[in-house]
Structures are given as structure tokens and as C-alpha cells.
């Protein structure tokens, strides 16, 4: 599998994720579906139960965790592994780092190419602490029937009931029962939540509000094509919200220097025994058995 194909697969999964929250809505051809959720005019209304004290994720930590996970991919039986060669493992690293950044910035559990119960920082911490591939693979508990993306999290089935036992939510749906440990997402169990946890819910843009992206502290708020509020917490990875060089409001990360200034954003590649990439404007590297590639 080429790197371009791998990243295309990731992009396709994001698109699928973006649309999955609309599965329960009947749409007449040519009509735009109505926005879901209550109207939100600010960050607090868009994420009423936003957690405090979420650790800042560093690009190097994300990259190192993704490298460890990629090494363990090569240890899995062929039928269970995404990567079966060192080159495919490099693509796994590229996709993994982008998925973690995508999810962290949007303050949602890991989504995109992966759909996990944990948020990016929880996953990275778990992988970093793992000393065996069994422990590392166990960090990636799959999320079922709950889609999370730019607009928030929603259940892609008919909700019946949520039961709580401590931080664990048991969600009864038309498609079966889903169990989640809300603590993996910096959330608590909520019997009134269709996703089982105090995730960031869908919220609707005010009809009379300017649709242009704007900053509220380090939160970038906007309005997507379905009139849903878009939300990015730039501080989750040490960024700030502000005006970019392209003249739009967005998350801004440290300026590229050295390797990144010379090479720009780049795929992971071997330099001797190290895997090196430019990620969020920073040079990241890890000594790994994924290098050198034969």
C-alpha cells in the first residue's frame, strides 16, 4: 500500500464519520437537513460539560506512541494486522499521528481512521506506559455505534436507555447494547446521554450569527455546511487560536524551524535507525525497529 493510498483511506474515513451522524434523518433530495441539537452561541454552550485539566499533548509524544503501536502491528497475526511490512507500518504512523491530532483538536474520542473509546491523550498515555504489545494493543478499545467528528458526538442508532455503573455506561439501542468507560474520554456517565457519556454534543448555529470562524480564547468556533457548530480546542496540543498567514481564524502552532522549515510537513521516513517526520511544525523522531526499511 502506498503512502498516498493510506492517507486517502484516512480522508475517506473522516468523510464517512462526518456523515454518519445524519443517518437517522430523512432528507429530501435537494434539501439540506436541519441542524441537530440546541443552539449554541459560545464555547460553553457548545460543550457544556467540557472537562478541565486535560493534559497538553506534545507532537513528540503522539509520534512516539504511534511508532510503538506500529511496531506492535507487525506482531499481530496477518489477518488482524493493518500493517504487514515496514513500509505499511510507516503509513500507519502517518495516519495515527494525523488521527490523534484531528481528535485532540476537536476535543472528541479518537476518531477518523480509528474509532476508540479513549481521547488522544488517554491513548498516548496508555501506549507510553505499555511494556508489551498485549498491553499496547489493549489501549485501543473500539467505539461502537457512536460517531464523533467536528460537530461533536452522536449515536448512529435509535437510543432506548443509558444505565450507569460508576464511570461505565451501558447504552441500549435498536442495534444492540454498547458499553463504554467514560473515564477514557475525560467524561462521566450520564443516564440522559444518548452516547452514554458527557461527550461534546451536537449543537446548532444561531440562524442570525455570522458563519465565519472566530476565536473564543483558544477555542475556535465555526459553523459547518449543515449549520452545526464546529469546535476546535487549540490548547489541547499547545496551540493558540488566531489569524493564520492565510487570513483565517484557526489553531496556530509553533513556527516551523530547522528540519520542518526546510522540508515542510512530511511523511515519516528513516534516517539511519530513526523514523523522522515533521508534525505540527516540529521535527519528531524515534529510534525503532521499523528502520531501516529493506
Model pLDDT, residue 13: 36
Q: Where are the alpha helices (DSSP H) in the chain?
A: 3-20, 43-46, 59-73, 86-105, 120-129, 133-137, 258-263
Average per-residue pLDDT in the chain? 88
State pTM to two decimals. 0.88
Residue-wise pLDDT for 181-221, tens only, equals 999 999 999 999 999 999 999 999 998 878 889 999 999 99
Tell me how many degrees the CA angle 224-247-277 measures, rounded to the nearest 5: 85
Model pLDDT, residue 145: 96
Model pLDDT, residue 30: 55
Residue pair 280/101 in contact (Cβ under 8 Å)? The answer is: yes
Model pLDDT, residue 211: 83
SS3 readout for 155-215:
ECCCEEEEEEECCEEEEEECCEEEEEEHHHHCCCECCCCCCCECCCECCECCCCCCCCCEE
For range 216-239, the mean pLDDT: 95
For range 246-258, the mean pLDDT: 87
For range 68-86, the mean pLDDT: 87
Residue 222's alpha-carbon distances to 11, 126, 248, 289, in angstroms, are: 21, 32, 11, 42
For range 266-285, the mean pLDDT: 92
Q: Is the pLDDT of residue 255 over 50?
A: yes
Secondary structure letter of residue 24 according to DSSP? T
Residue-wise pLDDT for 160-177, tens only, equals 999 999 999 999 999 999
Residue-wise pLDDT for 105-145, tens only, equals 999 999 988 899 999 999 999 999 999 999 999 999 999 99
* pLDDT interval class at 14 (50, 70, 90): very low
- Could you give the CA distance from residue 121 to residue 104 in angstroms, rounded to a whole number? 7
The domain limits of the chain are 3-21+42-287
Model pLDDT, residue 51: 97
* pLDDT > 90: percent of the chain: 73
Amino acid at each position: 500500500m502506498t503512502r498516498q493510498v493510506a492517507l486517502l483511506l484516512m480522508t475517506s474515513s473522516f468523510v464517512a464519520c462526518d456523515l454518519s451522524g445524519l443517518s437517522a434523518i430523512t432528507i429530501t433530495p435537494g434539501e439540506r437537513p436541519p441542524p441537530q441539537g440546541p443552539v449554541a452561541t459560545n464555547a460553553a454552550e457548545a460543550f457544556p460539560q467540557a472537562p478541565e485539566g486535560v493534559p497538553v499533548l506534545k507532537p513528540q509524544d503522539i509520534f512516539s506512541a504511534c511508532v510503538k503501536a506500529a511496531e506492535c502491528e507487525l506482531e499481530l497475526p496477518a489477518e488482524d494486522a493493518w500493517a504487514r511490512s515496514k513500509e505499511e507500518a510507516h503509513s500507519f504512523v502517518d495516519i495515527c499521528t494525523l488521527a490523534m491530532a484531528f481528535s485532540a483538536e476537536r476535543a472528541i474520542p479518537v476518531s477518523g481512521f480509528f474509532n476508540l473509546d479513549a481521547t488522544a491523550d488517554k491513548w498516548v498515555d496508555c501506549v507510553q506506559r505499555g511494556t508489551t504489545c498485549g498491553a499496547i494493543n489493549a489501549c485501543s478499545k473500539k467505539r461502537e455505534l457512536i460517531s464523533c467528528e467536528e460537530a461533536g458526538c452522536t449515536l448512529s442508532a435509535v437510543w432506548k436507555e443509558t444505565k450507569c455503573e460508576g464511570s461505565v455506561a451501558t447504552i441500549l439501542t435498536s442495534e444492540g447494547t454498547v458499553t463504554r468507560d467514560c473515564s477514557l474520554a475525560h467524561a462521566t456517565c450520564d443516564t440522559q446521554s444518548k452516547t452514554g457519556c458527557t461527550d461534546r454534543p451536537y449543537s446548532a448555529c444561531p440562524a442570525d450569527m455570522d458563519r465565519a470562524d472566530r476565536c473564543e480564547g483558544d477555542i475556535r468556533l465555526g459553523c459547518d455546511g449543515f449549520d452545526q457548530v464546529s469546535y476546535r480546542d487549540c490548547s489541547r496540543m499547545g496551540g493558540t487560536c488566531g489569524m493564520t498567514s492565510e487570513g483565517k481564524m484557526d489553531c496556530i502552532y509553533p513556527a516551523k524551524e530547522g528540519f520542518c522549515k526546510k522540508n515542510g510537513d512530511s511523511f515519516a521516513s528513516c534516517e539511519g535507525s530513526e523514523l523522522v517526520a515533521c508534525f505540527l511544525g516540529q521535527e519528531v523522531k524515534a529510534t525503532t525497529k521499523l528502520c531501516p526499511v529493506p
